Structure 1
Amino acid sequence: MTMVEGCVRTFTAFEGVRRIADGEAAGVAAAAKHALDRGSHDLVLIFDDATGEQVDFDLRGPLEDVLARLGDESRRRDEEAPPADPPRGPGRPRLGVVAREVTLLPRHWEWLGEQPGGASVALRKLVEEARKANVDRDRVRKAREAAYRFLVAMAGNLAGFEEANRALFAGDREKFAAETESWPADVRDHARALARVAF
């Protein structure tokens, strides 16, 4: 199974309980389109490997149209990304700051106001420290959430579903493996791969 590595977005397609493709969008969309075109009686579902969420590719029309729409969507995402900043001369660096409202108690504002650089600098430092301190915990949480989304969509009616979910969120790898053992092989293997980091 292909998982997300770096910034390449990968997907996995299922026809019923059988994995029919994994990898980048074009290959997965082509496999799903082929399954639909041959009149599959099973549900064809595509999942984002990073989030475990079900995604909908527009599979109408000829394969060339499907792939063109995928390319258009990818280009649109690239165009919506913030433009690279041109080289700057001397002076204060541009931070890409976004203003949003934060609600705090008066004592919090008082403490922030006393910090070197003021409230904004102190808040940015606190957020950066928390991000660094929680990187492993965040990775585990995201893996659990991705596995859970996939389980709900693909294994909700399978024996051991509830127990497998409890084991997933309890961090019990052995129990999760035991509860998923009787599941269809492709569903079981994908669920275990998504959940691997969660343990």
Structure 2
Amino acid sequence: MAWLDTACTAFEGSRCISSGTLKDVALATKPVVDRWASSISPPPVLIFDDATSEVIELDWRGTLADFVTRLDAQDHAMRSATPEPRAEAEAVEVPRGPGRPKLGVSAREVTLLPRHWEWLASQPGGASVALRKLVEVARLSSEVKDRVRNAAAAGYKFMSTMAGHEAHFEDASRALFAGDQAGFEAQIAGWPADVQVHLKKIFKDAFAA
């Protein structure tokens, strides 16, 4: 994915300016930055990566045309610096019996204890089928845990940046890590509306899981 296609959200203080791809959000944010350019105490204008809540730093200087040129140049530089993903090794085709579909499986060595092989051999379809089922279950289980952990980390990072000074921040943090959605939403109810909306978007997967 191109750097400028990164999903992100921009804030002017606690007000959401725009959400979408980085290019669209940056273009919507540039006039806001320019409007505050001569102010002694402007509100913070920040763009957050939606997936990680990392702040995306941009060079806002110059005209809109200058800004767009720099954006495109940075995107091109990041594309050039990122190696192309290597093609996956071609799967080893195992001999197929009559009517057996081509699964695209790879034959690789697996080391198990004798009792494990005995149990696998007793399963319907034999060891290979049983192993594939076990791996798929583990993969799906890990996927959910990873999504929850990543959402919690991203949400807490955003909270710390945007709402660390808000009332009930510590209570909201405890509710977050306890998986208490109702308690969390009750603690942030007095926070700025746009901050609440963004936090609920980040935590959607985590609390659902």
- TM-score normalised by the chain length of structure 1: 0.71
- Residues 34 and 130 of structure 1: is their aligned pair in 2 closer, same or farther, counting only changes over 3 Å? same
Residue number among 137, 157, 161 corresponding to 1:153 in the alignment: 161
- In structure 1, what is the equivalent of residue 22 of structure 2? 25
Match of 2:17, SS? strand
Residue number among 109, 112, 115 corresponding to 2:111 in the alignment: 115
Over 6 Å off, 4+ runs: none
Q: How does 1:39-188 map to 2 (within 5 A)?
A: 39=36, 41-83=42-84, 93=90, 115=111, 131-188=139-196
Match of 1:186, SS? helix
C-alpha contact (below 8 Å) 2:152/2:177 kept by paired residues: yes
Separation of aligned partners in 1, 2:197 and 2:206: 15
Match of 1:57, SS? coil
- Residues 158 and 82 of structure 1: is their aligned pair in 2 closer, same or farther, counting only changes over 3 Å? same
More deviation, 143-152/61-70: 61-70
Larger radius of gyration: 2
Q: How does 1:11-22 map to 2 (within 5 A)?
A: 11-22=8-19
Separation of aligned partners in 2, 1:27 and 1:71: 12
How far does residue 73 in structure 1 lie from its aligned partner after superposition?
2.1
- Residues 17 and 76 of structure 1: is their aligned pair in 2 closer, same or farther, counting only changes over 3 Å? same
Separation of aligned partners in 2, 1:147 and 1:114: 39
Question: Which amino acid counterpart does residue 17 of structure 1 have in structure 2?
Answer: S
Question: Which amino acid counterpart does residue 145 of structure 1 have in structure 2?
Answer: A
Question: Which amino acid counterpart does residue 168 of structure 1 have in structure 2?
Answer: L
Separation of aligned partners in 2, 1:153 and 1:32: 19
Separation of aligned partners in 1, 2:66 and 2:138: 45
C-alpha contact (below 8 Å) 1:52/1:194 kept by paired residues: no
Aligned Cα root-mean-square deviation (Å) = 2.9
Separation of aligned partners in 1, 2:147 and 2:74: 27
C-alpha contact (below 8 Å) 2:8/2:47 kept by paired residues: yes
- Residues 8 and 33 of structure 1: is their aligned pair in 2 closer, same or farther, counting only changes over 3 Å? closer
- In structure 2, what is the equivalent of residue 35 of structure 1? 32
How far does residue 115 in structure 1 lie from its aligned partner after superposition?
2.8
Q: State the identity %.
A: 42
- In structure 1, what is the equivalent of residue 106 of structure 2? none
- Residues 80 and 128 of structure 1: is their aligned pair in 2 closer, same or farther, counting only changes over 3 Å? farther
Alignment length (residue pairs): 163
C-alpha contact (below 8 Å) 2:8/2:48 kept by paired residues: yes
How far does residue 44 in structure 1 lie from its aligned partner after superposition?
0.7
C-alpha contact (below 8 Å) 2:10/2:16 kept by paired residues: yes
- Residues 134 and 43 of structure 1: is their aligned pair in 2 closer, same or farther, counting only changes over 3 Å? same
More deviation, 39-48/169-178: 39-48
Question: Which amino acid counterpart does residue 29 of structure 1 have in structure 2?
Answer: A
Separation of aligned partners in 2, 1:64 and 1:114: 58
How far does residue 197 in structure 1 lie from its aligned partner after superposition?
1.2
- Residues 131 and 80 of structure 1: is their aligned pair in 2 closer, same or farther, counting only changes over 3 Å? farther
